């Protein structure tokens, strides 16, 4: 690559999902980009729109309105599948860089939690309310309007998802040289 580390690429702070996506992209594509960390997606996207950085890595949900307004141009998805945002086709980066599959995709999960020592009967009330809410048209419409993939997982199933994410994030950070601590020393198994 000509001028390695001259292209400024913004993402959330070190260890965030978007930072991991950037590291994986660089490893899988051979690109040498200068990582510029931001407090979150909004800051990095604003930096891309003002020219402070050249490339930003965030989710479709976070970029959608700026893409539709012509403020950001989507280059590729960090997933094996292309994506259609209205009339805009966003190709998969995997089509050009098959090696990305060694580290990607990394899924983002957002949820809510209560302290582990909350009484089970209270947790059951929350789980039942959550399950009902996830069936509602209002929640489905909200997810569609904001480009979210709603899973509706809770309890042991959600805990397993987060355990897998913990493993994938920590081992990926370690393998890509962004974390010095071996996850095995923290009791985090490789999954």
Q: Is 43 exposed, middle or buried (0-12, 13-18, 19+ CB in 10 A)?
A: middle
Domain edge (last residue) among 106, 123, 156: 106
- Inside any domain, residue 2: no
Same domain assignment for residues 22 and 47? yes
Mean per-residue pLDDT of the chain? 91
Q: Determine the pLDDT at residue 107.
A: 77
Same domain assignment for residues 150 and 179? yes
40-88 pLDDT per residue, tens: 999 999 999 999 999 999 999 999 999 999 999 999 999 999 999 999 9
Overall pTM surpassing 0.85 (yes/no): no
Mean pLDDT to the nearest integer, 91-100 = 94
Q: How far is it, in rounded angstroms, from Cα 142 to Cα 146?
A: 6
Mean pLDDT to the nearest integer, 136-162 = 91
- Inside any domain, residue 68: yes
Mean pLDDT to the nearest integer, 161-185 = 89
- Angstrom CA distances, 104 to 95, 108, 114, 169, stand at 13, 12, 30, 10
Same domain assignment for residues 142 and 185? yes
Q: Determine the pLDDT at residue 179.
A: 87
- Inside any domain, residue 145: yes
Mean pLDDT to the nearest integer, 167-191 = 90
Residues facing residue 78 across a β-bridge: none
Q: Determine the pLDDT at residue 111.
A: 81
Same domain assignment for residues 22 and 99? yes
Question: In which band, very low, low, confident or very high, does the pLDDT at 3 lie, cut at 50, 70 and 90?
Answer: low
Question: In which band, very low, low, confident or very high, does the pLDDT at 191 lie, cut at 50, 70 and 90?
Answer: confident
Give me the domain span that covers residue 139: 109-191
Mean pLDDT to the nearest integer, 83-101 = 94
| Residue 115 backbone zone (phi > 0: left; psi -120 to 50: alpha; other: beta) | beta
Lowest mean pLDDT among 41-50, 113-122, 170-179: 170-179
The answer to whether 72 and 48 have CB atoms below 8 angstroms apart is yes
- Inside any domain, residue 131: yes
Number of domains in the chain: 2
Same domain assignment for residues 184 and 116? yes
CATH number at residue 69: 3.40.190.10
Domain edge (last residue) among 83, 106, 129: 106
Q: Determine the pLDDT at residue 112.
A: 81
Same domain assignment for residues 60 and 136? no
Mean pLDDT to the nearest integer, 9-19 = 91
Domain edge (last residue) among 106, 136, 151: 106
């Amino acid at each position: 690559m000509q001028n390695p580390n001259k292209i400024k690429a913004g993402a959330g702070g070190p260890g965030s999902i978007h930072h991991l996506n950037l590291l994986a992209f660089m490893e899988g594509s051979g690109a040498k980009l200068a990582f510029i960390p931001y407090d979150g997606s909004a800051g990095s996207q604003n930096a891309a729109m003002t020219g402070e950085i050249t490339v930003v890595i965030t989710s479709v949900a976070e970029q959608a309105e700026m893409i539709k307004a012509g403020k950001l141009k989507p280059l590729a998805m960090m997933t094996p599948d292309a994506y259609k945002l209205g009339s805009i086709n966003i190709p998969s980066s995997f089509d050009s860089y098959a090696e990305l599959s060694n580290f990607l995709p990394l899924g983002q999960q957002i949820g809510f939690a209560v302290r582990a020592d909350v009484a089970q009967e209270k947790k059951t009330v929350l789980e039942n309310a959550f399950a009902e809410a996830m069936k509602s048209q209002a929640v489905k419409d909200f997810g569609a309007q904001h480009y979210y993939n709603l899973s509706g997982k809770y309890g042991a199933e959600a805990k397993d998802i987060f355990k897998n994410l913990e493993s994938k994030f920590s081992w990926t950070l370690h393998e890509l040289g962004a974390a010095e601590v071996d996850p095995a020393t923290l009791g985090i198994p490789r999954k």
